[in-house]
Amino acid sequence: MLTKIQETASYLKGKMTTAPETAIILGTGLGSLATEITEKYEIKYEEIPNFPVSTVEGHSGKLIFGKLGNKDVLAMQGRFHYYEGYDMQAVTFPIRVMRELGIKTLFVSNAAGTTNDTFEIGDLMIITDHINFFPEHPLRGKNIPYGPRFPDMSQAYDKGLIEKAKSIAAELKIAVREGVYLGTQGPTFETPAEYKMFKVMGADAVGMSTVPEVIVANHAGIKVFGVSVITDIGVEGKIVEVSHLEVQKAADEAQPKMTTIMRELINRS
Ligand code: HPA
């Protein structure tokens, strides 16, 4: 595993003309941040040795290198979801490569349904903590010596970055929520009973990504900041039918707020 990661990193280093310490996963609601990256150069996933291969034809992603403001960044356009059939090693492979490339901080976004009755569609929720509800743990197996066998997770989302993001949001008059993100495998959205269970468990938002990447980033000593865009309501009595299209629409509408907060935070941290 480590050999493969290092092989991939060494291929990328051979192509890289910048030295980013900041990585961004352009999840739902953050896609447009890619257009703000300047002095860009890109590498398609299919050209990168050992990178997971996309399951959707013509839908392969790419790594985008360049500058966001004055910062060198590495952005992943397209992530690998467990529900697509990738195993956890594949889902988190890019994060381990990031560690080999010298990435120190990771910024992530996602779309999520909310179990919190004070949240609304289009809200941004700064992720303060998570619950891992995936059926397979990304660190299962031989420990890669990036970190300990039994990694601490007491501050999976960096408190300093959370505070900075809150003050940026206040300054720019963008309302933000804070809460716990629960990651589950999907691809079904939740039944009302499942939403209720997740609420009882302590979740404010529920989605199908992020948690594996964040666990592996923590193990690799990479600091994390994450935001969920609330795209549907999983609150008893308010649940209506939900489709991917509606999720996408709500995320697109919240995109400018999400992009602003991420851009400013990346620039100032
Ligand atoms: N549940 C799980 N994943 C999601 C949801 C949801 O309600 N909304 C967007 N992604």
Domains of the chain: 2-268 (3.40.50.1580)
The Cα 49–Cα 148 span in angstroms is 27
The Cα 122–Cα 173 span in angstroms is 15
Q: Residue 203 is which amino acid? A: A
Task: Tell me, using a 6 A CB cutoff, whether residue 113 lines ligand 1.
Answer: yes
CA of 180 to the centre of ligand 1 (A): 14
Residues contacting residue 138 through CB under 8 Å, at least 6 positions apart:
88, 89, 91, 92, 212, 215, 216
- Integer-rounded Cα Rg, in Å, for the chain is 18
pLDDT digits (tens, 9 = 90+) for 149-191: 999 999 999 999 999 999 999 999 999 999 999 999 999 999 9
Task: Tell me, using a 6 A CB cutoff, whether residue 94 lines ligand 1.
Answer: no
H/E segment holding residue 66: strand 62-68
Give percent above pLDDT 70 in the chain.
Answer: 97
Task: Tell me, using a 6 A CB cutoff, whether residue 190 lines ligand 1.
Answer: yes
pLDDT grade, residue 59 (50/70/90)? low
pLDDT digits (tens, 9 = 90+) for 236-250: 888 888 888 888 888
Residue nearest to atom 2 of ligand 1 (CA): 207
Give the predicted TM-score (pTM) of the model: 0.95
What pLDDT does 183 receive?
Answer: 98
H/E segment holding residue 11: helix 2-15
CA of 113 to the centre of ligand 1 (A): 4
Provide the mean pLDDT of the chain.
Answer: 94
The token pair at 10 is 């060494």
Instruction: Say if CB 71 and CB 266 are below 8 A apart.
Output: yes
CA of 189 to the centre of ligand 1 (A): 6
**Which one of 121, 206, 245, 248 would you pick to mutate in the ligand 1 pocket, going by the greatest count of ligand atoms within 8 A of its CB?**
206
pLDDT at 58 exceeding the cut of 60: no
pLDDT at 78 exceeding the cut of 80: yes
**Which one of 131, 133, 190 would you pick to mutate in the ligand 1 pocket, going by the greatest count of ligand atoms within 8 A of its CB?**
190
What pLDDT does 55 receive?
Answer: 64
- The candidate with the shortest Cα–Cα distance to 106, out of 47, 177, 30, is 30
Task: Tell me, using a 6 A CB cutoff, whether residue 31 lines ligand 1.
Answer: no
Instruction: Say if CB 99 and CB 15 are below 8 A apart.
Output: no
Task: Tell me, using a 6 A CB cutoff, whether residue 204 lines ligand 1.
Answer: no
The Cα 261–Cα 169 span in angstroms is 6
Task: Tell me, using a 6 A CB cutoff, whether residue 247 lines ligand 1.
Answer: yes
Give the number of the atom of ligand 1 that is nearest the alpha carbon of residue 207: 3
CA of 69 to the centre of ligand 1 (A): 32
Nearest 10 degrees: Cα torsion 167, 169, 175, 176: -70
What pLDDT does 162 receive?
Answer: 98
Instruction: Say if CB 209 and CB 79 are below 8 A apart.
Output: yes
Residues contacting residue 17 through CB under 8 Å, at least 6 positions apart:
41, 65
